[in-house]
Structure 1
Amino acid sequence: MDTLSFFGRNLPILYKADCVVAGGGTAGAAAAIASLEEGLQTVVVEKTISLGGTQTNALVSPMMPTYMKCSRVNRLIIERLSRENIQTDDGTTACSWFNTESLSFVLEELIAERGGSILYDANIVDCIKEGSRITHLIINTCEGLAAVQGKTFIDATADALLSRMAGIPVESGNDNGNNQQISFRFEMAGIDIEALRSFLLSKGEAFCKIENPAFFEIAMVPGKGHVLESFFRKGLENGDLLEEDLRYFQAFTQPGKAGVMSFNCPHIPGIHQTTSAILRSQAVTKGREMIHRLTRFLPDYIPGFERAFLVKEASQLGIRESYRIVGQYVLTETDYVRKARFPDGIARGDWYIDVHSTAAERVEEVKFSRGEYYEIPYRSLITNEICNLIAAGRHISSTFLMQASLRIQPTVRDVAEAAGIACAYSVRNGVCLNQLDGAIIKQRLGIAEEQR
């Protein structure tokens, strides 16, 4: 086995690949599939032991709705989920539903079948550069330190970890330095979902408009007229809940998992920065306390939850926003409002600017009509500093507000597919990723030019 000298130590080079994907989450898995579909030798370096990232480890399901045409990688994933008897279409909304275990398995299958390699339980420690080019990742594994060599690299770490190690400038948070709200999701089993649904409908709850009872959503936000608010207030009066438990409550059924719901809460109070290792650790402790209050409260107060119990806590926090690279183009909320088009627009977004704020700031909601969208330029994925690095995920080059729109899973997958295709074009044609004309990738993706 070849080795690499690193501070006086000879590290084994575990893989040599055309494309090295740092992070196997929503973006990383999709980028790897796209790269493999293009015939590149591809390896994914993943810190956990499952693919899917926020989707699977943070239990973030379903995918929020988009009316954009489904990309090839997205179609591959949805088709494979259907083979696992997972129904993704609720028949009413444009959400894409899944359960976390099935999705993680499907992503792994799609990569393995195409000859890709996955290095699990591997944390990125550093990168080696020669001039403006990354040559190796330094990783920590069960064997100790090791290296992975690559021709192109995709930063799909969500926290822009590889980009920051490579010296790429980054931004974080809003003008006051505050990041979006952290959630700590969990699942409960033993729920009588039909009884819960019937109860809420009998009380006139209009929140869930999906006719298919297999796809059910509940929510409680104070002051929004939700039926459940009075029950939460009663729990607060009785001392079973604290005021912080009423900030945000939401849950979704899990296709293929009868009697199970995934909870998009609690929102962790008092954590204004998601880029601090200490604060993230405190968020876990605080969130776990809140989860256990909620899972004791629900069986005692809400019909349908009488026999329910906590079955799973997320193994990863729900981080909506942390670092963002400063790329060749910074996508802004102005681009959102004007429904921007770009010659190198490699993906389209139509989700609203969805800020889960930790402060009292209010963001005016400007929502598109069906069929309206903005484009994400290829230049928001690349930087001036590193020639063979491309970003894919929530950390691409954008402002705080714009990131709140483009961060949803289907958009992230589309961006990732473009990154994988770009790596293939770069390797085959000897063109640096940060010098590649993104209009070529747009054309290869089949995204037609449209004028408003």
Structure 2
Amino acid sequence: MSTLSFFGREVPVIYDVDCVVVGGGTGGAATAISALEENISTLVVEKTISLGGTQTNSLVSPMMPTHVKTQRINVLITERLNKENVKTNDGTTACSWFNVESLNYVLEQLITERGGSILYDANFIDCVKEHGKITHIIVNTCNGLAAISGKTFVDATADAVLSRSAGVEVVSGNKDGENQQISFRFEMGGIDIPELRTFILSQNETFCKIENPDFFEIAMVPGKGHVLEPYFREALANDDLQEDDLRYFQAFTQPGKPTVMSFNCPHIPGITKTTDPKLRSEAVVKGRQMIRRLAAFLPKYIPGFQNAFLLKEANQLGIRESYRIVGQYVLTEQDYVDRARFQDGIARGDWYIDVHSVTKESVNEAKFSRGEYYEIPYRSLITFEVENLVVVGRHISSTFLMQASLRIQPTVRDMGQAAGMACAYSIKNNMALNTLNGAHLKQQLQMVEEF
């Protein structure tokens, strides 16, 4: 086995592949599948033992809807979930529903069936860069430090960890440096969903419009007229809840889990810096306390929850935004307003500018009508500083507000489709990723996907 000298230590090189994907989350998994479909050797380096990132480890389900035609990898994942007897369509909304265990398994199978490799439980440490190119990354494994050699590298870390270590310029937060709010999701089991559904609908709730009885959603935002608010207020008066617990409440059923709901809450108060490791740890402690209060409140106050119990907490926080690279093109909210088109537009977005901001920052924009969209240029995925690096995920090159639209799962998966194809094109044509003409890539996507 070859070795690499790293700060005076000889580190074993355990992989040498065409494409190294750092981060097996929403974008990373899609990139890997795409690259493998282009017949290049691919490795996913994942710090946990579960693919899917925020989808699985942060319990972010269902997938928010898009009305644009998604690309092949997105469709492939949904089709495989359906084969796993997981209903992904509620018949009413454009959401794609899943449970996290099924999605994790499906992503793993789609990668390994195509000959891809996955290195779990491996934490990225640093990269080795020569003449503007990354040659190796260093990871910490159960056997200590190891090196991985590659021809192309994909930063799918969500926090731009690989990009920052390679010297790529980054920004974070809004104009005041404040990031979007953190969530800490959880699941409860033992819920009588039919009783809960009957109760909610009997109160003339207008929020949930899903007609299929296998799918259900509840929510409570103060001052929005939701029927659950009086129950939260009563619990607050009885000291069963605290004011922060009422900030935002939402829960979804889980396909294949008939008594389970996944909760898109609590929102952690007072944490304005998601890039601070101390504050992230503080958010975990605060969030866990809030989860326990909510899990005790629901059986006591809400019909259908009488026998419910806390099933599990997310394995990681729901971080909506942290670092963003400064790439060859910075996508802005004006591009959203203009429904921008680009010669190198490799993905489409139509989600609204969904800012969960501590300071309630927003933009005056009209939501898209069905069929309207903006394009994401390939230049927002590549950097000036590194030849063989492409970036996929919420941390591509954009403004704070624009990031709040492009970060949803179907859009990120489509970025991954393009990134995997770009890595293959780069290798087969001996061309740097950051000089590759994205117009060729867009044309290739149109040919393959009728995109």
Indicate the residue corresponding to 1:237 in structure 2: 237
1:48 aligned to 2:48? yes
Contact 2:377/2:438, CA 8 A, preserved across alignment = yes
Map of 1:373 onto structure 2: 373
Counterpart-to-counterpart distance in 2, 1:260 and 1:304: 11
Aligned 8 A contact 2:21 2:42 in 1:
yes
Question: What corresponds to 1:140 in structure 2?
Answer: 140
For the residue of structure 1 that corresponds to 2:259, the secondary structure is: coil
Tell me the residue number matched to 2:249.
249
Aligned pairs (5 A) from 1:260-409:
260-409=260-409
Secondary structure of the residue that 1:159 maps to in structure 2?
coil
Whether the 8 Å contact between 1:68 and 1:350 is mirrored in structure 2 is yes
Does the residue aligned with 1:40 lie in a helix, a strand or coil?
coil
The secondary structure found in structure 2 opposite 1:433 is: coil
Aligned to 1:105: 105
- Check the 8 A contact 1:389/1:433 in 2, yes or no: yes
How much identity, in percent, do the aligned residues show?
Answer: 73
What number of residue pairs does the alignment pair up?
Answer: 450
Alignment partners' CA distance in 1, 2:192 and 2:23: 37
Deviations 1:28-56 (A, max 9, x none): 00000000000010000000001000000
Residue 173 (structure 1) aligns with: 173
Alpha-carbon separation, structure 2, partners of 1:361 and 1:121:
37
**Aligned 8 A contact 1:348 1:375 in 2:** yes
C-alpha contact (below 8 Å) 2:362/2:401 kept by paired residues:
no
Gaps of 5+ in 1: none
Measure the CA separation in 2 of the matches of 1:404 and 1:444. Answer: 28
Q: CA deviation at 1:258?
A: 1.0
Take 1:262 and 1:63, find their aligned partners in 2: how far apart are those partners?
13
Name the aligned partner's letter for residue 22 of structure 1: V
C-alpha distance in 2, partners of 1:146/1:200? 54
Distance 1:301 1:363 in 2: 37
Deviation of the 1:362 alpha carbon: 4.3
Q: Is the 8 A contact 2:426 2:432 kept in 1?
A: yes
Cα contact 1:353–1:366 (8 A) shared by 2: no
CA apart distance, 1:187: 0.1
In the alignment, residue 73 of structure 1 is paired with which amino acid? I
Task: With the length of structure 1 as denominator, give the TM-score of the two structures.
Answer: 0.98
Query: Unpaired segments of 5 or more residues in structure 2?
Result: none
How much has 1:447 moved relative to structure 2?
Answer: 7.3
Query: 8 Å contact 1:74–1:413 — kept in the other structure?
Result: yes
In the TM superposition, what whole-angstrom CA distance separates every residue of 1:50-86 from its partner, at most 9, and x where no partner exists? 1000000000000100011121001110111011000
Secondary structure of the equivalent of 2:244? helix
CA distance in 2, matches of 1:290, 1:138: 37
Q: AA paired with 2:70?
A: C
Q: Which stretch has the larger CA shift, 68-77 or 155-164?
A: 68-77
Aligned-residue Cα RMSD (Å) equals 1.2
Shift of 1:214: 1.1
8 Å contact kept, 1:346–1:447: no
Question: Could you tell me how far apart the structure 2 residues matched to 1:176 and 1:389 are?
Answer: 29
1:210 equivalent to 2:205? Answer no
Per-residue displacement from partner, 1:339-358 (whole Å, max 9, x unpaired)? 00000000000000000011
SS of structure 2 residue aligned to 1:260: strand
Residue 160 of structure 1: CA displacement?
Answer: 0.4
Distance 1:180 1:20, change over 3 A: same
Could you list the per-position Cα deviations for residues 157-193 of structure 1 after superposition, in whole angstroms to 9, with x for gaps in the alignment?
0000000000000010000111000000000000001
TM-score (norm 2): 0.99
Which residue number in structure 2 is paired with residue 156 of structure 1? 156
- 1:19-38 → structure 2 map (5 Å cutoff): 19-38=19-38
Please report how far the alpha carbon of residue 364 of structure 1 lies from its aligned counterpart in structure 2 after TM superposition.
3.2
Q: Name the residue aligned to 1:122.
A: 122
Q: Counterparts of 1:71 and 1:4 in 2: how far apart (Å)?
A: 39
Quick one: which amino acid aligns to residue 339 of structure 2? K
Tell me the equivalent position of 2:10: 10
Q: CA deviation at 1:361?
A: 3.5
1:213 shift after superposition: 1.3
Partner of 1:412: 412
Structure 1: distance between partners of 2:22 and 2:149: 12
